[in-house]
Structure formats: structure tokens, C-alpha cells
Amino acid sequence: MAAESKRQVRMSVGGMHCAVCTSAVEKRLVSLGCTQVGVSLASASAMFTAPDSVSDEKLCAEIEALGFDAKIEIQPNTGNKDNSWELLVFAASAMLTAPLLLGMILSFFLPHDNIVMRVLHDQWFQFALATPVQFLIGWRFYKGAFKSLRAGYAGMDVLVALGTTAAYALSVYNMATGRVRGMEGLHFEASAVVMTLVLLGKLLEGRASSKTGAAVRELLELAPETANLEVDGEITTVQASQLKPGDIVVVRQGERIPSDGVVESGSISADESMLTGESMPVFKDTGDSVIGATVAVSGVARIKIEKVGSDTELSQIVRIVERAQGSKAPVQRLADKIAGIFVPAVLVISVITFLGWYFFAKVGFEQSLLHAVTVMVVSCPCALGLATPAAVTVGIGCGAKNGILFREGEVLERAASVDTVVFDKTGTLTEGKMKVSDLVLTDEMLAYAASTEKLSAHPLALAICEAANGRSLEMFEAEDFSDTGRCVAAVCNGKRVTVSAPEQAKCPENAQDEIRRLESEGKTVVVVTLDGEYQGVIAISDTVRNDAATAIEAIGKLGIKTRMLTGDNERAAQAVAQKLGIDDFSAGVTAAQKPDTLIALKAEGRKTAMIGDGINDAPALAQADVGMAIGSGSAAAVTSAGATVTGLTAAANALVLSRLTMRKIRQNLFWAFIYNSICIPLAAFGVFNPVAAGAAMALSSVSVVSNSLLLKKSFQKAAVKSGKDVN
């Protein structure tokens, strides 16, 4: 039976206030058969994979049944929504509430028979002001509370609706029974002020949260709106969104490349720093690939468009960032569990508070109820729900703008605990552009070696073949090819040829001296034999990456051990390790043995990160706690990794960023727990009144988001510099 086809869905979800809300949305989507569900409170969105049998309308209807606003989106939710309506609602609530609050404040300074006080304390005047705040402006809380309870969960709306209704109803009851004496018996200011402060808190929180989506917003803004399309020699300006594969566009100095493609003619220097983190412009000539949204800093080129829309590299980066921002870090699970029982627990505490004050303190029904209301109002599940996603969203956004793509929040958390970083050598610590530096054999033997190596994709093999081609040597047909990792063999022109590591072949004494000399210079040496007889050696060198030493030094300063894996011999490996300041190395390691090294380190209790770029690194990247693939590497390596980085500096910064992000998460969770642990008991014991409780609740969630936004400045200070400003 064929598997059901699925699609990627991006949905904006309005009205979520806390972890209880996000959990409810996630559970409902999972119940519909959706997978890879990520619900972000910070960006008010959900990303998931949905079965084609469930329509977009069905998905939205199910989420709306929970009490939220749901809408399928084509473009990413950048969090930069228009909040003019929320601002207008708050302004109306504030104007109606101000006289009520003023009356309470002036009662401490003016006599009660003052004309101003008589107006402000008039019960019908207060009733007229508080009623629209409670039921018109506050209707959203009643609606949310009703729908959430009907759906089987209780969120912040329940606490706000219950608390303010109790204060409002008590005031109306006292009016109806003639118990009002001046300000005594009226608590309209409590219900209205709490409602207004909650609206203010949500407004400020929304504005702060919108900044956490700045990374996606800035990435999207990189894409140019127009392109210079060439048709039959004529150039016209068209919308970039209208381009299709095969179109030819002209890009001049200072213009952004409209979409991914290949240079058809001409040449440019492209500034790819905004996407790759590389500070130097990259020269692009005929046949070279170019990335859409990058800038041509010099030159003119005709570019053939190959990818458009969601297939472009920019779109793929945005998707990765969005999904990572919506994913949950394991540390969030504790907060989610607590949030799941938070509201019922607060309601129980409120009841206990009422009973305690009424039966033991004997302060009467009215005062006991106000203390219970204060407990409901001061409680804040929002801060608990925002503590992790706000920091993760900012952290992943910072990474995206600095050449670091975390695939999910869990990778970010695991990276923070890494204590050992394992590097592949060739192509990771070095440029991977290997060239033959020394030939101690005849051209004929080089031709035999190249004929054997042409069936291998190893960088050493490519270097040998390039050397033979450079000398215009005639190749032989190779048969019976084999590759053990340390020795390549084939039958060429009827002769058995091997190209191997020195220890795999019998070498005369004088050859061994030459091999030792070359290896001590950090070069990789291979021995060529013909029908088992020694024929000579080939030395191959590679250039160490410019940022390797800086990155390794920065990683060491984090208290992280470094280790290099290479198929090279001991002397060549030691030369590179000493040059770069690497703590330890393993030489003579084949591709199949790399994962075993990671397994052994993990068995010792090490938290490992593997950094590599080649196809043969993919198993090791998957085996590590955190796999980081160099973005220019093979597709297999990038797919196997939990993070993609543009270079070694970016890899070091990924570790720095992960630690800073986890520090912010711990700070946020500490604040959320401490706030509720202190404020709920204080409210229960009568230290707060409802107005002060409302102010504290509004401040708590805003402070969590604001603290998360400070992560960007912390990262700018701590990041390893590579000639490019850190964003």
C-alpha cells in the first residue's frame, strides 16, 4: 500500500498566551495526523507536515475550535504584524480605566466630600466606565476562556476572566444590596485596571516578540523585488517573482542577483556575506554558480536562472530557520509540564486563600474574595511559556545571520554541553584543494597511479589525476578496482597497480628516509607499486584554512578539548596538529573508523561535536551528539548534520551562541519560577492588591522577552571575529 502523500504547512496562530496554549495546538495537530509539529509562542505560528487528506480548511477549523485565530500562510510569519488595532483597544481601555484609578489614588490625598471625589466615587459613574472594559474590551478573555475550557484545557484567559469577573460582580452585588459607602464596596477599579494592564502587557510583549522574528524578516528582505530580464537581446525590468528556470538576467555592479543560477557570460565579484558569513567577495566566472539575493560588488554578468521561489537557497535557509525556531528544546519540557497543571493549581490556591481568610482570619466574604482574586491575577503562565521559545528564536536568528543554521532547538541545547570537538582534517581544517607537491617517480608510473585513482572520489585521488592531466599523460583502462581505505588497487595494461599508504607497501631504506622527510613537512605521502615492486612516491600537500587556528583557539578558551581525525600518517598528522594547537589527533583513520572514534568518546562520557564536510564524514556526523557540516561540503554531510556552518569560525561561534542561549533560557526559567514562587504566596497572604498584581503579571512576561532580546548583544561581544561584523 502506497504511503499517503504529505505537504509542508505554515500556519499563523493568533491568541496564544502561554505554554498551555501551544501545547493544546500541538496536540490537536498531532491528532489530525500531522508530524514534525513545531508551535512557536514567540512568533505566533506553527510549522508542520500535514497529510494531503486533511485540507487547509479543516486544519484551520480545528485550531479555531480551540479558541485561536488560524490562517494558512504562504510567506513566513516574520512577527512584524500590524498591531494598530491592539493599540486602539488598549487606548480605549486606558481612557475608561484612568478615572477609576485616579479616584483610588486621590482618595489618599483629598477629603471624600470634595466635588472631584464625589464624581469619581459615584457608583453609577464607576459602573458606566467599568462595564464596557469588562464585557466589550474584555470579551476576548471570556471567548478564549470558554473555548479553552470546552476544548479541555485552561490557560491565562481563564485566570483573567475569573479574577476580573469576581471583582466586578462583587461591586455590582454591593450596589444592588445597598452596601456601597463612598469607595467602600466598589472594586470596579480592580477589574478594569487588571484588564487594562493585561492588555498593555500583551501589547508590549507582542512588540518585543516581533523583534525575535527579525532574522527571518531580514533574510526575506535580501531578495530583490525586480530583475533585468533579457529576451532576444532586449533587457526589460520585471518582478523577480515572475522569473522561471532558463531565463537570462543581467546583473550589474551594485545589484542583487534575483535568484539562484549560473553565470552564462561575463564575470562578477559576489558579496555572499549576508548568507554565508564569508567576508571577502567571491569571484564568479562563466559556469560558476551564484546565489540569489547576494550582491554583485563589481563586474557585469549574464546569469541563467536555475532555481526560483521555494527552491532557492535563500528560501531553504528561511525554512530551516523557521522550523528550528518553532521546535522545542528538551529544557522546555519541564516548563510545559508545569504549565499544563499551572492554572488548575492556581485555582486551587485561590480557593484555599479564600477559605483561609474567611474562616481563620475572619475578614469577611468581600475581603477574602479580593485576596483570592489577587492570587488569580498575579499568576503568570505566560512567562513560563515564553522562557524557552523566546530565547531559542533569538538564538537561532542570530546564528542564521552569522553563517550558522541549527536545524532544531534540541541541537542548540546539545551544543551547549559539548566538551569535545572532533575535526575531520581534509576539507575541514584544510582547504581540501590538494595538489601534488613532490614526485619521486617517472611520468609513466604517475600515469599508472592516475589510471588507478581515477575511479576514486578521494581528494588525494583527484590531486594525482590532476597532476597527470597537467603533464598530458595518457591514461590506461583500469579493471578489478578495489579500495580498502588505505590502499587503492587496479589492473592497468595487464599490470597490478597499487597506490597506498607507506606502511601498506614494502619500501627500500632510501625511500623510507625520503618518506619521513616529506611527512615531517606535513605532506601526505603515497607509495606506488607495480606487480608488487616499489616504483616511487607521490607527496600531496593541502593548505590549512585561514580561520582554523583562530577557531581552534576560541574553542579551547571555552574549555572544550579538540581532536583531529585523518587518514594521514602519524608524522603528517602531528605536524598539522601542532601547527593549529589541536589537543589530540588520531592518524591512519579510515572513513569507516571515524564513527567508532565518536562512539568511544561518548562511552567515556564525553559530549561530542563532529565537524566535517565530505561524504565519508556523514556517518561520523550522524554519530556525534552534534554534527556540524561545512556548508560548502557534500549534500550527504549537510543532510547528516544537526547544524550547517559556513566555516570554522562559524562552527566556533555556534558553540559560543549555544552556551549564551542556554544561559538566557536558564535566566528566563529562573525568573518565571521565582516570580510565581514569590508573588503567589505574597498575594495569598494579602501583601498585594489586585491592581498591583495586574501590574506585576504584565511586567513578568515582558521581562522574559526583553531579556531574550539581550542575547544578540551578548553574542556580538563574545563571538569569534573573522573580519566580518557579527550580527
| Residues known to be catalytic | 424
Cell triple for 586: 588520531
Instruction: State the residue for C-alpha cell 559556469.
Output: 287
In 3D space, the residue among 237, 243, 273, 269 whose CA is nearest the CA of residue 254 turns out to be: 269
User: What CA–CA distance (Å, rounded) separates 690 from 657?
Assistant: 40
Cell triple for 48: 508542520
DSSP secondary structure of 400-418: HTTTEEESSHHHHHHHHT-
Instruction: State the residue for C-alpha cell 608510473.
Output: 445
Cell triple for 536: 616511487
CA atoms within 13 A on the CB side of 654: 34
In 3D space, the residue among 478, 480, 471 whose CA is nearest the CA of residue 493 turns out to be: 478
Q: At what angle do helices 443-453 and 459-470 cross, to 10 degrees?
A: 140
Q: Are 580 and 601 in contact (CB under 8 A)?
A: no
User: What CA–CA distance (Å, rounded) separates 392 from 389?
Assistant: 5
User: What CA–CA distance (Å, rounded) separates 264 from 306?
Assistant: 11
Q: Could you give phi then psi for residue 653, rounded to 5 degrees?
A: -70, -30
CB atoms within 10 A of CB 674: 11
Q: What does the buried/exposed string (b/e) look like for 565-577 if buried means 16 or more CB atoms within 10 Å of the residue's CB?
A: bbbbbebbbbbbb
The terminus-to-terminus CA distance of the chain in angstroms comes to 50
Cell triple for 237: 525590468
Return the beta strands (E) in 158-294 as ranges.
226-231, 234-239, 248-251, 260-271, 282-284, 289-290
DSSP secondary structure of 611-674: EE-SGGGHHHHHHSSEEEEETTS-HHHHHH-SEEESSHHHHHHHHHHHHHHHHHHHHHHHHHHH
In 3D space, the residue among 220, 209, 204, 229 whose CA is nearest the CA of residue 86 turns out to be: 204
User: What CA–CA distance (Å, rounded) separates 558 from 628?
Assistant: 17
Please report, for residues 103, 111, 120, 404, the alpha-carbon distance to residue 116 in angstroms, rounded to integers and kept in the order given. Answer: 9, 10, 6, 62
Q: Are 722 and 647 in contact (CB under 8 A)?
A: yes
CB atoms within 10 A of CB 106: 14
| H or E element that contains 419 | none
CA atoms within 13 A on the CB side of 624: 31
- SS3 at position 220: helix
